[in-house]
Amino acid sequence: MNKKDLKTLCECALFQNSGYAEQKEVFSFSAGEIISTPNGQKQLGIVLSGRAKAVEEDNETLLNLFEKGDIFKAAGLFAESQTCTNVIAETAVRAVFYSEEQILSLVAQYPKISENYIRFLADRIAFLNRKISFFSLPSTEMRLARYLYCQAGSEIKISSAKLCLVLSVARASLYRAFKSLQQQGAITHQKGKITINDKNILKRIYKGE
């Protein structure tokens, strides 16, 4: 593990501001290689570089994307049953892994990690609840407007691929929605970044007014 890897690890959601700064063995995966399976060893993973994806066991249905600093398999680490998903390297991926015993040991050494873990899982639940709420909105434009309206800041950094997953929409539909919201003055869209210009317009759009 090099200094850049350690920095990524220490700044991820699990270890941020915890004082953790321990070296860890790094595992490398080629594009298309399976990183984790439902029947494999229960481990929490953190991506140091590259991009991975979570898919159903059919390896077709895309559930999530993981990039530098992202955590995967966190929800199932302490669960009695395993999640029914595969994690596959979409590009070349480098990652580290932690077992249940290792996380418990780290929590004892660095109490902030337990707070971070709870906060991370709470954010995941909130994310899933928001995703469910989008299903009641009939158009991509309304879903995008609601998502952006609910964000705390005025600048949101998120890839189009991830946003498609969040909103459960096709990429072509998402870009049409971007164009429409820009034309109405609600946002400014650049690659990987969205700037909110007027939340009142976003509210009017997702409410269908």
Enter the tokens of residue 104: 């418990």
User: Strands (DSSP E) along the chain, which ranges?
Assistant: 27-29, 34-36, 44-49, 52-56, 62-66, 71-72, 85-89, 93-98, 155-157, 187-190, 193-196
| Residues 31-46 pLDDT 10s | 999 999 877 788 999 9
> From CA 69, how far away is CA 120, in angstroms rounded?
13
Question: What CATH number does domain 135-206 carry, 2.60.40.1120, 1.10.10.10, 3.40.50.300, 1.10.8.60?
Answer: 1.10.10.10
Matching fold, domains 3-126 and 135-206: no
Extract the tokens encoding 86.
Answer: 């595969």
What pLDDT score was predicted for residue 84? 67
- Rounded Cα distance, 150 and 71, in Å: 23
Q: pLDDT tens, 10-27?
A: 999 999 999 999 999 999
Instruction: Give 108's contacts (C-beta < 8 A, 6+ positions apart).
Output: none
* Whether the predicted pLDDT of 50 surpasses 90: yes
pLDDT digit string (tens) for 83-121? 668 899 999 999 999 999 999 999 999 999 999 999 999
Check residue 9 and give its pLDDT: 95
User: What confidence score (pLDDT) does residue 131 get?
Assistant: 78
Residues 161-209: pLDDT tens digits? 888 888 888 889 999 999 999 999 999 998 889 999 999 999 999 988 7
Look at domain 3-126 and name its CATH class: mainly beta
- Give pLDDT, residue 81: 65
Q: What is the pLDDT of residues 117-138, one digit of tens each?
A: 999 999 888 888 877 877 888 8
Selected residue with higher pLDDT from 60 and 68: 68
User: For residue 41, what pLDDT is reported?
Assistant: 83
For the chain, the structural domain boundaries read: 3-126, 135-206
Positive or negative: CA dihedral 200, 203, 204, 205:
positive
The predicted structure's pLDDT at residue 59: 65
